[in-house]
Amino acid sequence: MSLLGTGLALAGPDGRVLWINPALGEALDVGPRSAVGQELVTLMREPGLAGQLERVRAEGRGFHLRSVTLGLARGRELLADLLLQPLDEGRVLVEVHPLSADMGSGSTPLSATLRGFAHEVKNPLAGLRGAAQLLQRRVRDDDLRALAAMVIAEADRLAALADGLLRHGGAARIVPVNVHELLERLEQLVLAEPDPLHLRHDYDPSLPDTLGDGDRLLQVLINLARNAREAGAAHLLLRTRVEHGARLGERTVRAALRIDVVDDGPGVADEVRDSLFQPLVSGRPDGSGLGLALSREIALEHGGDLRYVSRPGETVFSLYLPMERAHD
């Protein structure tokens, strides 16, 4: 774990540092060895962290602290999300995901996860595109040719997304996005699958464009629809709304655009409800545990959030995107 770009610290039952990795040591301007034995709250210059560490140990479950300001060396500050995970013997693992570029590696929390994913998909995408091109040239049926063209277009979209993530920082390409156009593209992809889900939509036609990276947001919607299908759902409802006074992390926005993906599957299993958005956590034995983690990170990157409520027969995943600047 010492080679990870993400800042990591291991705190003992007394809140003192047992270990930190080089990425966090560089950001805090402290040697990993000299950090051992210091109080973590003092090292990070964040007094409120003590109570959160105690809460993690007492309740035995992880917590995600958003937009925490940490004190760095030479009077600098770092705005970051903290992920606190309980371990055995009262120890707590703390992950530091910067929301600014001050972490020594220069990576964002989004790119740290997605860039590894991008490496894995590039070769299969090239093979997929090549096979679709051969199919398009050899078949005479217009419908099959159209489906092959759709596969090629999606492979190109994902390849461009992977290339963007592999560039330094993996910054999103922020442009005006019409969410209903994204949902129309999603419908085309869903209906092109064998034995497709039955789709309904309930759109608010008055919604304005939002600012975002359309390819990444479409990937969130595809992940949600795919999860619904793989969970055994038969019907999918796509719904758009405006939610006023929405709470996104530690801030409130006057209005947020909300996209609901509603399925009639069996619901989220009890054993993964509290950790569903964490990497490598899946409710299915054959699941990768990446789709929802990546989707949540994309939502956070856009200043929004991804949430869910679930019961047998109805699971609702809601993607929130702020429509204007936040206020206190």
Tell me: the pLDDT tens digits for 223-232? 899 889 988 9
Listing DSSP states for 137-155 in one string gives: HH---HHHHHHHHHHHHHH
Which is more confidently placed, 244 or 34? 244
141 backbone dihedrals φ, ψ, rounded to 5°: -70, 125
Per-residue confidence at 243, pLDDT binned at 50, 70, 90?
Answer: very high
Q: Is the pLDDT of residue 72 over 70?
A: no
CB–CB of 45/70 below 8 Å? yes
Instruction: Give the pLDDT mean for 314-325.
Output: 87
pLDDT confidence of residue 296 = 86
State percent of the chain over pLDDT 70: 80
Instruction: Give the pLDDT mean for 221-250.
Output: 90
Q: Which token pair is 102? A: 């001050």
Q: Where in the chain does DSSP place strands (E)?
A: 7-11, 17-20, 63-71, 77-86, 92-98, 175-177, 198-202, 210-212, 235-248, 251-263, 305-311, 314-322
CB–CB of 37/31 below 8 Å? no
CA dihedral sign, ordered 150, 152, 156, 161: positive
Q: Which token pair is 286? A: 């054959």
Tell me: the pLDDT tens digits for 88-127? 888 999 888 776 544 433 334 444 555 556 666 767 888 8
State percent of the chain over pLDDT 90: 26
d(CA 180, CA 242): 13
Q: Which of 2-16, 121-135, 269-283 has the least mean pLDDT?
A: 269-283
Q: Of 60-69, 154-163, 193-202, 282-291, give the range with the top mean pLDDT.
A: 193-202
Q: What average pLDDT does the structure give for the chain?
A: 80
